[in-house]
Amino acid sequence: MADRMRELVDILNEASKAYYAEDHEIMSNFEYDKLYDELVALEQETGITLSDSPTVHVGYEVVSELPKERHPAPMLSLDKTKDVGALADWLNGKEGLLSWKMDGLTVVLTYDNGELVKAVTRGNGEIGEVITANAKTFKNIPLRISYKGRLSVRGEAVISYSDFEKINSRIPDTDAKYKNPRNLCSGSVRQLNSEITAKRNVRFFAFSMVEPEDKELVDSFENSFKKRFEYLESLGFQVVEYKEVTSETIADAVKSFAEKIPQNDFPSDGLVLDLEDVAYGKSLGMTAKFPRDAIAFKWQDEEAETTLTEIEWSPSRTGLINPVAIFEPVDLEGTEVRRASLHNISYVKDMKLGLGDRIKVYKANMIIPQISENLTKSGSLEIPDTCPACGAATVIKNENGTETLNCPNPECPAKNIKLFSLFVSRNAMNIDGISEATLERFIAEGFLHDIYKLSDYKDRIVVLDGFGEKSYNNMLSSIEKSRKCTMEGFLYGLGISGIGVANAKLIVRYFKSDFDRIMNATAAELCEIEGVGDVMARDFTEYMSKADKREEIERLLSEIEFVIEENTAEQDLEGKTFVITGSLNSFPNRDALKKVIEDRGGKVAGSVSSKTSYLINNDINSNSSKNKNAKKLGVPIITEEDFLNL
């Protein structure tokens, strides 16, 4: 038993380190809870608790460069249960408040004299990271409150599913996409640059307050947890959704929360039950790990048994080949499920998987499909010895005890997925009907060597699942349309380091749409262009000097024709830089306004700086960050009408 306990402690601590300190998961919550419960049972049976057991240690040490600070009192985790009946027993006739247990990053906000003066993450429960500047960019927290005493508010910083999807949709590289909202939120909140945090739409949901020093304020709460929530709401905080419950109503309340999960825009990993009587809750004290005035409820994951029919090995840009389980469809949480990630080779081996095995699957937190158990455990699955994208011999790497399958071929088309995705994007060649998922499928099937030769594979493309004659024809029509393109779009689509859409336009304009001159430009010539520096010029000339790149460009040039739009607009905005923000009235979108500015010789930047000539915002008196920066720097704020009158 002692050996098994040591094994469990090591596994659980490694999982906690990955989750809390390194922002990635090496096992699901379901697996962690299962192993944790096994360890608790062994400790109770043997009377032994190892010194580094996760049952007596909270979280893990933080490892960032952010300043660290010790909490005035340890932030303990909560005891938990998956049994609704246990919640009713725990209440023992008392009233409680049931609320979401949100899945983000716990943060403590401290206000003094009505001002937000400090924000600290939970960290390991004893020492957290100071993230005050970042917290001030959270979308829904009050920077000032009416209460002038010292007040500390605990809550969860989260990123919604909709914002998570928007952020991921702007990342063309599959491997660079964020895995889940919790990881994205943790990385966003702990940024060293608060500007990055501000762009991530982090929100804060308060779930408790540290006992205020003001006795008069405390007395006004009448020992009511609910009144504390109401007071926080009156100060401008958004609190977690909650319901008043008793032992008789708790089951219906849990069911009500569960029904909201499919439509809920915020990630959660369960519920929290607090005693409504604060004084009574405090009188119960705490254990070494858990306070006794609250308990967490984890969803009892719905499982289904099915048969593993296939393993899909999906190559990626980094060379990593990821295994995905394909199984006979099952209904879970109201949706049909047929696929689940298998993470890596170590996971496949530990599960002893083989085709035809009977497996159990579930949705982690009622959302992400996972395999919970392999009933057959045949262990017969063969690891592929060749890459499905290029046919090169695969290599198994072992890093920190985790085995992964990799393709070492530098010319593997899967490694060029990012470049293909950029090339077909709207601001480059603008080819509709070829998403990154489609590109990955074409690569896996061996179709994708040249976008303009896809018609050679028509018979094989039209029979792919989800494709057909209509989808193929639409895609081919878009490819044909792209043969007439702008020079700056083509230049941007090549994926040269540092060359974005704006810089591509500057280069094309400077060399008067002469692509031969562009290809043979020297670093010195490029540096003459305002906005192009030494590093960008060096990367550009290095790219153009490579024989394989020149050959690729020449091949592409034989397939396309540049559309040169003659610009007859007066260059009266030359030397001026604009920033656009807010909604527009006279122009259909920002790109249209941006084009007018650039056609007239001006530049458009994304943020206000000392080099900005004008900030265009129809709401001149708004309190947006761009308006504030413009006022601080003395940059004129003008409306669209003002711009048109320039």
Positions marked active-site: 101
Residue 637, Cβ density class (10 Å: 0-12 exposed, 13-18 middle, ≥19 buried):
buried
- The one-letter code for the residue type at 195 is E
Q: How far apart are CA 471 and CA 442, in angstroms?
A: 14
Locate 248 and state its tokens.
């008789």
Written as six digits, the tokens of 53 are 């057991």
DSSP 383-409: PPSB-TTT-PBPEEEEETTEEEEE---
Pairing mode, strands 68-70 and 268-275: unpaired
Integer Cα distance of 341 and 335 in angstroms: 17
Concatenating the DSSP letter of every residue in 82-133 gives S-HHHHHHHHTT--EEEEEEE-SEEEEEEEETTEEEEEEE-TTSSEEEB-HH
Q: Looking at the DSSP assignment, which residues form a beta bridge with residue 315?
A: 321
Backbone torsions φ then ψ of 251, nearest 5 degrees = -65, -45
Q: d(Cα 307, Cα 291) in Å, to the nearest integer?
A: 43
Count of other CB atoms within 10 angstroms of residue 522: 11
Q: 487: helix, coil or strand?
A: helix
Distance CA(372)–CA(364), nearest Å, equals: 10
3-state secondary structure of 325: strand
If you write DSSP's letter for every residue of 521-566 in order, what string do you get? --HHHHHTSTT--HHHHHHHHHHHH-HHHHHHHHHHHTT-EE----
Among the listed residues 425, 459, 464, the one whose alpha carbon sits nearest the alpha carbon of residue 444: 464
Please, which residues have CB within 8 angstroms of residue 102's CB and are 6 or more apart in sequence? 156, 158, 205, 207, 240, 266, 267, 268, 269
Structure token pair of residue 591: 């790109």
Residue 112: beta bridge partners? 115
DSSP H/E element including 632: helix 625-633
Burial of 390: CB neighbours in 10 Å, binned 0-12, 13-18, 19+: middle
Within 13 A of 510's CA, how many CA atoms are on the CB side? 18
User: What count of other Cβ atoms lies within 10 Å of the Cβ of residue 324?
Assistant: 14
The CA distances from residue 16 to 60, 122, 308, 399, 622, in Å, are 7, 14, 30, 18, 44
Q: What is the DSSP letter of 318?
A: T
Give the span between the Cα atoms of 350 and 377, in whole angstroms: 9
Q: Is 21 exposed, middle or buried (0-12, 13-18, 19+ CB in 10 A)?
A: middle
